[in-house]
């Protein structure tokens, strides 16, 4: 049972006395290079402590934006050194998509990437590489990330405690369904 083990580990981390420190670390590093989405840590933390939803969403937002600024600076100062890693990790296509979005939508690309499950790290680095204005980037990151994390936090505070037993019961099915959807999306993008 792969997903039930992961779910139990996330719930264990969420109840840990240093859970907020873990959330800080995940939030910062997810905006730079870490593959685990911050919402995967935030959601079980809010389920475990619904009364802390605003505090936890605020921590995730602030730390994600700070991590985004680091990603921006990396893109601005060292894109030539970073691009081989992007290729090595298999993110080149998504990185090029981020560039296209910046050309098509400008600062709104950061807002969209901050709100959706699109890898935010690619947009932080791309914004720096394309020399987007730092203030517009920061404001767009705040708007997108706060909308995302507060939505997750409020939904989990409202429905999470009631849904937790259902999620726990069907976690394997939900996990494998997510994997199947990801594979389908990946294959569709390749064609």
Distance from first CA to last CA of the chain, Å, rounded?
32
Residue 62, Cβ density class (10 Å: 0-12 exposed, 13-18 middle, ≥19 buried): middle
Global pTM reads: 0.78
Q: Give the whole-angstrom CA distance, residue 41 versus residue 36.
A: 8
Query: Would the CA dihedral through 181, 183, 189, 191 be positive or negative?
Result: negative
More reliable by pLDDT, 72 or 35: 72
**Are the beta carbons of 54 and 146 closer than 8 angstroms?**
no
| Contact (CB, 8 A) for 131 and 78 | no
> 22: buried, middle or exposed (CB in 10 Å: 19+, 13-18, 0-12)?
middle
- How far, in Å, CA of 68 to CA of 51, rounded? 27
Report pLDDT digits (tens) over 154-184. 988 888 777 777 766 766 776 677 667 766 7
Locate 156 and state its tokens: 């989990």
Rounded to whole angstroms, the maximal C-alpha distance in the chain is 49
Spatial separation of the C-alpha atoms in residues 30 and 12, rounded to whole Å: 20
More confident residue, 62 or 111: 62
Could you state, in order of their start, the residue ranges of all structural domains in the chain?
2-190
How far lies 113's CA from each of 14, 53, 137, in Å? 25, 22, 12
Model confidence pLDDT, tens digit, residues 84-137: 888 888 878 888 888 888 888 888 888 888 887 777 888 888 899 889 999 999
């Amino acid at each position: 049972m792969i997903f039930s083990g992961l779910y139990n580990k996330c719930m264990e981390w969420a109840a840990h006395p240093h859970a907020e420190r873990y959330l800080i670390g995940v939030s910062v590093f997810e905006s730079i290079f870490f593959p685990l989405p911050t919402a995967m840590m935030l959601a079980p933390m809010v389920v475990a402590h619904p009364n802390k939803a605003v505090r936890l969403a605020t921590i995730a937002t602030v730390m994600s934006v700070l991590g985004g600024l680091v990603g921006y600076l990396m893109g601005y100062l060292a894109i030539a050194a970073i691009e081989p890693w992007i290729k090595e990790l298999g993110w080149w296509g998504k990185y090029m998509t981020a560039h296209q979005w910046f050309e098509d939508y400008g600062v709104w690309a950061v807002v969209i990437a901050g709100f959706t499950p699109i890898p935010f790290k690619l947009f932080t680095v791309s914004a720096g590489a394309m020399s987007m204005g730092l203030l517009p980037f920061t404001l767009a990151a705040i708007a997108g990330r706060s909308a995302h994390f507060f939505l997750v936090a409020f939904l989990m505070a409202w429905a999470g405690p009631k849904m937790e037993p259902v999620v726990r019961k069907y976690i394997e099915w939900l996990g494998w369904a997510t994997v199947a959807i990801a594979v389908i999306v990946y294959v569709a993008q390749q064609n």
